[in-house]
Amino acid sequence: MDATLITPVADDRRFLRNLISVMAVVLVAGFVAQFALGRSSFSAPTIVHAHAIVFMGWVAITLAQSWLVAAGNVATHRKLGQLAVVWSIGLLILGPLVTIATIQTARTPFFFQPQHFLIANPLTLIGFAGLFFAAIVLRRRSDWHARLHVGAFVLLMGPGFGRLLPMPFLPPYAFETACLVALIFPVFGIIRDWRVHGRPHPAWFWGIGVLLVVTLLARVIGFSPIGEAVYAAVTAGTGMAGTDGLAFPPPPPGPM
């Protein structure tokens, strides 16, 4: 018998559904809060809107998948899973494109260093993709499949927490803080598995490990000559050409 296999039970499906539901609420709350406070609007460039649609569509798909499984509707879950694979490609394309556009138009949030931000965002998506496609490969092992999907979703939680946390007070580790706070979700999974199954499932540690490695690599590469070269290439021919990619942008002007 495979020692890493935890037999899925109905309670597992309900727990994972509830966990993903909370994660979705946090993500949406972050964006809604910023809009309500007047810090974001619909006047953003078209690519930002396209990314927002794809990103929120992914949240909706992930949420729907967890509820379908919990309800025992496996057939629809599998059909929606095919759409999820295609949808993830859009996420992987638009994510880097909107990051590049943000850097080139001097719209990097003032608590992030543009060069680090440029490297960290795509690396986070690479980590997400690795966990997501690992979950697809292991789709017949539902215990691994479900938990790896949660791990992939955790990699996307940074934008939600980043809009809820006091980011102006968190540099120079604002990006890391927004990402690592999301570890609370796999930790809940570990505790729950320990109580119900007597031990945590190893998939949780794969998700945590990927997030930690991606976060560390983003800082190492972002502050290296490689990061400097990437920043120079991305900003060449734009108003940001020749600027210091590791200098924090100025904060927006306060109310008059």
Domain assignment of residue 247, yes or no: no
Domain assignment of residue 196, yes or no: yes
Alpha-carbon distance of 108 to 239, in angstroms, equals: 13
Alpha-carbon distance of 246 to 112, in angstroms, equals: 9
pTM value is 0.90
Give me the DSSP letters along 166-232: -GGGSTTSHHHHHHHGGGHHHHHHHHHHHHHHSS--HHHHHHHHHHHHHHHHHHHHHTSHHHHHHHH
Domain assignment of residue 240, yes or no: no
Report which DSSP code applies to 113: -
How many residues comprise the chain?
Answer: 256
Alpha-carbon distance of 21 to 16, in angstroms, equals: 8
Domain assignment of residue 65, yes or no: yes
Q: What is the identity of the amino acid at 116?
A: H
Domain count, the chain: 1
Domain assignment of residue 243, yes or no: no
Domain assignment of residue 127, yes or no: yes
- The CA-atom distances, in angstroms, between 246 and each of 27, 168, 179 are 28, 16, 19
Domain assignment of residue 221, yes or no: yes
Domain assignment of residue 1, yes or no: no
Torsion angles phi and psi, residue 19, rounded to 5 = -65, -50
Q: For residue 213, what are the domain limits?
A: 10-235
Q: What is the identity of the amino acid at 202?
A: P
Q: What is the pLDDT along the chain (256 residues), one digit of tens a residue?
A: 344 444 455 589 999 999 999 999 999 998 888 777 766 666 678 898 899 899 999 999 999 999 999 999 999 999 999 999 999 999 999 999 999 999 999 999 999 999 999 999 999 999 999 999 999 999 999 999 999 999 999 999 998 888 889 999 999 999 999 999 999 999 999 999 999 999 999 999 999 999 999 999 999 999 999 999 999 999 999 999 999 999 999 987 754 3
